[in-house]
Chain A
Amino acid sequence: EPEVTQTPSHQVTQMGQEVILRCVPISNHLYFYWYRQILGQKVEFLVSFYNNEISEKSEIFDDQFSVERPDGSNFTLKIRSTKLEDSAMYFCASSEGTVQETQYFGPGTRLLVL
């Protein structure tokens, strides 16, 4: 069964460093998403991406964040200058369409900013 994969599974970084989280969505999916879950809190939407551009983003997704689909398979989330409060589990998801569509989630990347 096709699945969404994410790398790395864990990342530890120093405050102020750049990190890139990588995702490989399901191959025939057209819509891509990033969510995050700070420990003990809800899973929160960050951004959606379609046709090589951001379709929607949340207030959390400020200028420090960017997303990219550098080739036909990868979908990346970059945090330019990490803050302590960026420590969270980051989930990538993809879907075939939008209306009533299921999103398929990856296993997540646990980011720890020191």
Chain B
Amino acid sequence: GNSVTQMEGPVTLSEEAFLTINCTYTATGYPSLFWYVQYPGEGLQLLLKATKADDKGSNKGFEATYRKETTSFHLEKGSVQVSDSAVYFCALSDQEGFNKFYFGSGTKLNVKP
């Protein structure tokens, strides 16, 4: 079946530190992969996506590469800011049906000044 596993949080970093949030997946088909971010009190906002192997999604300094061989889609940012503090969700979309999404459990990131 389809599932997403992402690293447990919370992750606490100092400003300008390097960020990696690990995400691995299992899928029966060939999914698209997404990272969503949830700021306090707000909904899920798309951060980036990748639709095929070796694609790199990027936005706001965040990057993630679709690695089919390792079934991974790790989120990285070279220098985090306090404003990046949020919960990050990795997700895959089921290409066999009506685009049902499967989410990871979310990783809370705290960035300290």
Which A residues lie within 8 Å of B45 (CB)? 105
With contacts A91-B43, A106-B43 known, is A43 near B97, CB below 8 A?
A: no
Query: Helix, strand, loop or mixed for chain A's interface?
Result: strand
Inter-subunit contact A45/B102 (CB<8 Å): yes
Q: Kindly supply a per-residue 1/0 record for chain B positions 32-48, scoring 1 wherever the CB is within 8 Å of any chain A CB and 0 otherwise.
A: 10101000011111100
Task: Determine the residue in chain B with the shortest Cβ distance to A58.
Answer: B100
A100 interface hit (Cβ, 8 Å) = yes
What range describes how many residues of B lie at the interface?
Answer: 20 to 34
Cβ-defined partner of A42 (8 Å) among B95, B97, B103: B103
Cβ-defined partner of A48 (8 Å) among B36, B49, B91, B100: B100
Nearest Cβ on chain B to A40's Cβ, whole angstroms: 8
- In angstroms, Cα B44 to Cα A107, docked, is 7
Inter-subunit contact A98/B43 (CB<8 Å): no
Q: Which chain A residues (1-57) contact chain B, with CB distance < 8 Å?
A: 4, 6, 31, 33, 35, 41-45, 48, 50, 55-56
Inter-subunit contact A45/B99 (CB<8 Å): no
Which A residues lie within 8 Å of B20 (CB)? none
Nearest Cβ on chain B to A49's Cβ, whole angstroms: 9
Inter-subunit contact B99/A31 (CB<8 Å): yes
Inter-subunit contact B98/A104 (CB<8 Å): no
With contacts A42-B105, A100-B32 known, is A91 near B44, CB below 8 A?
A: yes
B51 interface hit (Cβ, 8 Å) = yes
A74 interface hit (Cβ, 8 Å) = no
Binding site for B on A (CB under 8 A): 4, 6, 31, 33, 35, 41-45, 48, 50, 55-56, 91, 93, 95, 97-108
* 20 additional A-B residue pairs with CB within 8 Å, beyond A42-B106, A107-B41: A33-B100, A35-B101, A42-B103, A42-B104, A43-B44, A43-B103, A45-B101, A48-B98, A55-B97, A56-B97, A56-B100, A93-B101, A98-B99, A99-B99, A102-B34, A102-B49, A103-B99, A103-B101, A105-B36, A105-B45
